[in-house]
């Protein structure tokens, strides 16, 4: 009975929060596309700095180890981004050369292909893997937390699942904005983030079976997830916001950024208070 309750609670929290975030992001706020980038940046940074990292550092884990893991995570996602860009650039280069060769063969022209390639659309589509990796790690940790609450008391488990669902909504709104850019469509973004959300159920199952052994690892899960959110916010989203705008547009951009921070902070605070 407890295991069934854990699986229901984790799926409801992990996937339900994604679909609720999608409704808010794509249905109600679809016309605020540029502002959603600011909201996403604020939500991701606040999730890391106001929710995950404080929780990790309140544990018995050593601060030096946690900071080292945070640094290692940032470097890892930087290298992952580089690999993703190199892969896209490699495909783009070969595709362009093949297309030119075919055109030249038809028209009898010879061109030197050793020219510089400028920025192409794929170069702006980075950060997707970092978000999904961070989401999956974070969801796994949430599953363990929900499982531990259900094992302690059924009502406490329900409250924990609802709390996770609530505080994940603003965070997933940011994720969906990033994944929509990298995937090209809202549907693809929703599918990818939903799949990451299902890892919550895996965390719940593993937590139920190995709860006593996993408690000491939770801070490291939280820091690993934080590193991905910080990286995506600072390396991918913030640079897109750094453009010359009018005073009114700049003020709106800052307000949406602060709105993302405030929303996550508020919801996380309410969740912890319950």
Query: According to the 3-state scheme, what is the secondary structure of 192-257?
Result: HHHHHHCHHHHHHHHHHHHHHHHHHHHHHHHHHHHHHHHHHHHHHHHHHHCCCCCHHHHHHHHHHH
User: Which of 84-93, 101-110, 124-133, 140-149 is modeled with the greatest confidence?
Assistant: 140-149
**What is the pLDDT confidence band of residue 65, given thresholds at 50, 70 and 90?**
very high
41 or 27: whose pLDDT is higher? 41
70 or 268: whose pLDDT is higher? 70
Average pLDDT over residues 57-70: 90
The 8-class DSSP code of residue 31 comes to: T
**Residue 59 confidence (pLDDT) above 60:** yes
Share of the chain above pLDDT 70, in %: 77
145 or 227: whose pLDDT is higher? 227
Between CA 221 and CA 215 the distance in angstroms is 10
Nearest to 70 by CA among 57, 85, 86, 60: 57
**What is the pLDDT confidence band of residue 177, given thresholds at 50, 70 and 90?**
confident
Specify the range with the lowest mean pLDDT, choosing from 41-45, 159-163, 210-214: 210-214
Specify the range with the lowest mean pLDDT, choosing from 27-36, 155-164, 199-208: 27-36
pLDDT value at residue 64: 94
**In the chain, which residue ranges form alpha helices assigned H by DSSP?**
2-22, 33-46, 53-57, 63-107, 128-152, 154-183, 186-197, 199-214, 218-231, 238-241, 247-273
The answer for residues whose C-beta is within 8 angstroms of residue 94's C-beta and 6 or more apart is none
Domain boundaries, the chain: 2-95+123-273
Nearest to 204 by CA among 137, 138, 145: 145
Between CA 247 and CA 243 the distance in angstroms is 12
CB 232 within 8 A of CB 127: yes
Between CA 214 and CA 211 the distance in angstroms is 5
**What is the pLDDT confidence band of residue 266, given thresholds at 50, 70 and 90?**
confident
pLDDT value at residue 115: 43
**What is the pLDDT confidence band of residue 8, given thresholds at 50, 70 and 90?**
very high
pLDDT value at residue 67: 95
């Amino acid at each position: 009975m407890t295991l069934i309750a854990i699986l229901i609670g984790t799926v409801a929290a992990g996937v339900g929060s994604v679909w609720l975030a999608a409704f808010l992001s794509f249905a109600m706020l679809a016309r605020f596309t540029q502002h959603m980038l600011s909201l996403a940046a604020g939500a991701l940074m606040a999730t890391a700095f106001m929710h995950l990292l404080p929780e990790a550092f309140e544990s018995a884990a050593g601060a030096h180890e946690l900071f080292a893991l945070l640094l290692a995570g940032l470097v890892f996602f930087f290298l992952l981004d580089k690999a993703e860009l190199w892969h896209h650039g490699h495909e783009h280069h070969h595709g362009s050369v093949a297309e030119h060769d075919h055109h030249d063969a038809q028209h009898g022209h010879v061109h030197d292909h050793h020219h510089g390639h400028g920025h192409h659309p794929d170069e702006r589509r980075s950060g997707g893997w970092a978000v999904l990796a961070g989401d999956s790690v974070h969801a796994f940790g949430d599953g363990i937390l929900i499982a531990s609450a259900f094992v302690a008391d059924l009502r406490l488990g329900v409250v924990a699942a609802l709390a996770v669902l609530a505080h994940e909504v603003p965070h997933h709104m940011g994720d969906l904005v990033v994944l929509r850019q990298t995937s090209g469509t809202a549907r693809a973004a929703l599918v990818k983030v939903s799949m990451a959300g299902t890892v919550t159920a895996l965390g719940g199952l593993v937590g139920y079976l190995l709860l006593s052994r996993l408690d000491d690892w939770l801070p490291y899960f939280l820091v690993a997830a934080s590193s991905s959110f910080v990286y995506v916010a600072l390396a991918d989203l913030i640079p897109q916001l750094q453009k010359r705008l009018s005073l009114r547009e700049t003020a709106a951009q800052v307000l949406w950024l602060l709105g993302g921070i405030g929303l996550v902070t508020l919801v996380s605070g309410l969740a912890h208070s319950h």
